Amino acid sequence: MAKLTIKDIDLKNKTVLVRADFNVPQDKDLNITDDTRIRATVPTLKYILDSGAKKLIVMSHLGRPDGKRVDKYSLKPVALRLQELLGVPVKFLNDCVGDNIKQEADAAKERVVLLENLRFHAEEELNDAGFAKQLASLADVYVNDAFGTAHRAHASTEGVTHFLKSSAGFLLEKEIKYLGGAVTNPEKPFMVILGGSKVSDKIGVIENLLPKCDAIIVGGGMAYTFLKAQGKSIGNSKLEKDKLDLAKSILGKAKALKKEIILPVDHVVVDTIDANAKSEIAGENIPDGKIAVDIGPKTIELFEDKLKSAKTIVWNGPVGIFEMDAFSKGSLAIAKFISGLKATTIIGGGDTAAAVAKFKLEDKMTHIATGGGASLEYLEGKVLPGVAALTEK
């Protein structure tokens, strides 16, 4: 890390402002259905408290309230869960800026304070300097542990760093170590698995990683644009017609670089996408009217054969409609297979993380990115404003 981490800063008797990513899913009764993101930042928060910080002020966003106060996006339920996980009282404040907020934070008997949703103020996403200054005025030092928003130049991720000494928390540091390592210095053979529905979502990743990796395995909906570009029949499967030329150029580029792009050789197909639809296996060419929803058994074998010698694997995007059990076999097989390899396995957030969680294989992977969009941009080789803004060592 070229940036300061919390271990580089003296926290004793300091008030520490932490940007966390508590953007957690909730049910209709506002019960948190997955607290992974809260748990992921607990080691950073506990370290700050154990280091003798006077006060810990935590801030986050939740949902997309678009600069207005929206009750269902309140962080109040998060305060209760955070209190349980930290094992210490957490004071919840009903806003994040304002004179009374600074007074309440200073006067709080509790050492941990959680501010209300940052995005109740439009100034947060506009990276308004005045708003950032108000947030910064609450503390002596700033810690960013919100990798999921590090690709956004917001007041709480980039703006506050202009007013406070800034460092990375353990979670942010870990994300940069694994994702950054994969991008800059991966142990070889380095294999990339890309899935998801659209080629357009992954162009940047392909272009950045193709020269660095040994091969790219492609599954999911995006595979059918590549197969169509090769002249294969894809039936009614997902197709980005306007990306056919791009797919051809990527295949050409791979050939010139002597890199393999490995595509499915058989498919699970249905007439309509429905959890109870009758499925069958189609070979390389998909019959007219049929829709591919998962990779077939020969493809699973092919992918596993290509992956078995890998030392670094980055996986971004499931290889089938994993949300429906009947079409999750391909993603499950790949997840199980790579979890048993002696390799660094990096799961690129979003749907891939959700798939690995569904298969209960999280603890078998080296690293699971907590932010889908941020990890995608990092794998594309883009500079993340929230990381770039931190104080240099």
Active-site residue numbers?
A: 37, 198, 350, 373
- Best CA proximity match to 174, nearest among 366, 17, 339: 366
CA 72 to CA 21: how far, in whole Å?
A: 17
Structure tokens, 102: 């600074």
The DSSP bridge pattern shows strands 215-218 and 344-347 to be unpaired
Q: What's the first-to-final CA gap in the chain, in angstroms?
A: 8
Chain position carrying tokens 């209960």: 360
| Rg of the chain in Å (alpha carbons) | 23
Beta bridge partners of 59: 19
CA 58 to CA 177: how far, in whole Å?
A: 24
CA 270 to CA 79: how far, in whole Å?
A: 45
CB burial class (10 A; 0-12, 13-18, 19+) of residue 201? middle
**Contact yes or no for 286/264 (Cβ under 8 A):** no
CB burial class (10 A; 0-12, 13-18, 19+) of residue 126? middle
Following DSSP, what letter does each residue of 157-177 receive, concatenated? TTGGGGTSEEEE-HHHHHHHH
**Contact yes or no for 374/149 (Cβ under 8 A):** yes
CA 65 to CA 122: how far, in whole Å?
A: 9
Report the run of H or E that residue 83 belongs to, with start and end: helix 76-86
Report the run of H or E that residue 245 belongs to, with start and end: helix 244-256
Following DSSP, what letter does each residue of 297-308 receive, concatenated? HHHHHHHHHHHT
CA 175 to CA 198: how far, in whole Å?
A: 25
